[in-house]
């Protein structure tokens, strides 16, 4: 079986499961028969784990357009691509500031880059860690919180059971989809999403698709906290 056919079979199984588990999600799925949960990634530059974390850190507390503008300036600074850790450390931090990053974000990205270049952290090892261990390793770095790590899990690692309870756009989408009279808290998001396991990433993508229609913006870096 080819990778494409295996992916298609997985999607059919996951969608069928989610339809049965959650009637609200079933409506979103049935309304989007041609929805590709990975299509938004085509709008992003190629990213390894560090690149995805850089993307997420850049997008903290920023709108979609502001995140894209800053990311484009960072890419321009590095010849059209996102920097590897050593590349980021090699430039004067003031150049990153001119690209639009705050000093707090610059310090976070440099701290992470130092740990990845001096051997305290290893991208290949991090990529194989279970979700909770990866979260513990990365959130030990000042300026990196759960939202940042969860976005990187979706983008770089393509983990199948990730939800971003701190994402404002997701919370607004769930408020609308479930006709709530208030913006759900992070705890309420997690409670609703519990029925989506083990396909929370796919369910989250459907929620984001509803949130961003018709703009079709990428479903991460949306006014999240660290």
| pLDDT score for 218 | 47
Quick: pLDDT tens for 16-49.
Answer: 999 999 999 999 999 998 888 877 777 778 899 9
Q: Which residue has the tokens 């507390």?
A: 61
Indicate if the pLDDT at residue 181 is higher than 60: yes
| pLDDT at position 1 | 62
Contact 100, 78 (CB under 8 A): no
Cα 18 to Cα 44: distance, rounded to the nearest angstrom? 27
Cβ–Cβ < 8 Å for 6, 14: no
Specify the pTM. Answer: 0.85
Rounded CA separation 140/146 (Å): 10
Q: CA separation (Å) from 161 to 13, 22, 210?
A: 14, 16, 19
Query: String of b and e for 209-225 (b: at least 16 CB within 10 Å)?
Result: bbbbeeeebbbbbbbbe
Residue 97 has pLDDT above 60, yes or no: yes
CA 67 to chain centre: 13
Q: Residues 19, 33: contact at Cβ < 8 Å?
A: no
CA distance 32 to 204: 14
Question: Which one has a higher pLDDT value, 42 or 59?
Answer: 59
Q: pLDDT tier at 209 (50, 70, 90 boundaries)?
A: confident
- Is 74 or 226 the better-scoring residue by pLDDT? 74
Q: pLDDT tens digit string along 64-92?
A: 789 889 999 999 999 999 999 999 999 99
The pLDDT of residue 215: 43
Listed range (61-75, 91-105, 140-154, 211-225) with the worst mean pLDDT: 211-225
Per-residue pLDDT, averaged over 124-128, amounts to 96
Could you tell me the two tokens for 28?
A: 């979103």
Q: Residue 224 — pLDDT band, cuts 50, 70, 90?
A: low
What's the rounded mean pLDDT across residues 93-104?
Answer: 98
Three-class secondary structure assignment of 72-121: HHHHHHCCCCCCCHHHHHHCCHHHHHHCCCCHHHHHHHHHHHHHHHCCCC
> What are the residue ranges of helices labelled H in the chain?
3-21, 23-30, 49-59, 64-77, 85-90, 93-98, 103-117, 123-128, 131-139, 146-155, 168-177, 186-193, 200-212
Whether pLDDT at 221 is above 60: no
**What is the predicted pLDDT for the residue at 188?**
98
């Amino acid at each position: 079986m080819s990778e494409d056919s295996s992916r298609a079979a997985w999607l059919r199984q996951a969608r069928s499961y989610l339809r049965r588990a959650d009637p609200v999600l079933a409506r979103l799925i049935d309304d989007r028969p041609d929805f590709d949960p990975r299509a938004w990634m085509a709008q992003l530059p190629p990213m390894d784990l560090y690149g995805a974390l850089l993307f997420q850190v850049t997008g903290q507390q920023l709108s979609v357009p502001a995140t894209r503008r800053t990311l484009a300036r960072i890419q321009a600074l590095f010849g059209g691509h996102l920097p590897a850790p050593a590349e980021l450390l090699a430039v004067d931090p003031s150049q990153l500031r001119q690209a639009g990053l705050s000093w707090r974000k610059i310090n976070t990205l440099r701290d992470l880059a130092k740990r990845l270049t001096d051997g305290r952290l290893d991208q290949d090892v991090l990529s194989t860690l279970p979700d909770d261990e990866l979260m513990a390793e990365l959130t030990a770095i000042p300026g990196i919180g759960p939202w940042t790590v969860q976005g990187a899990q979706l983008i770089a690692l393509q983990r199948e059971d990730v939800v971003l309870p701190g994402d404002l756009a997701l919370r607004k989408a769930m408020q609308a989809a479930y006709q709530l009279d208030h913006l759900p808290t992070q705890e309420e998001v997690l409670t609703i999403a519990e029925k989506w396991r083990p396909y929370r990433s796919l369910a989250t993508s459907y929620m984001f698709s509803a949130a961003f229609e018709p703009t079709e913006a990428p479903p991460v870096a949306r006014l999240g906290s660290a």
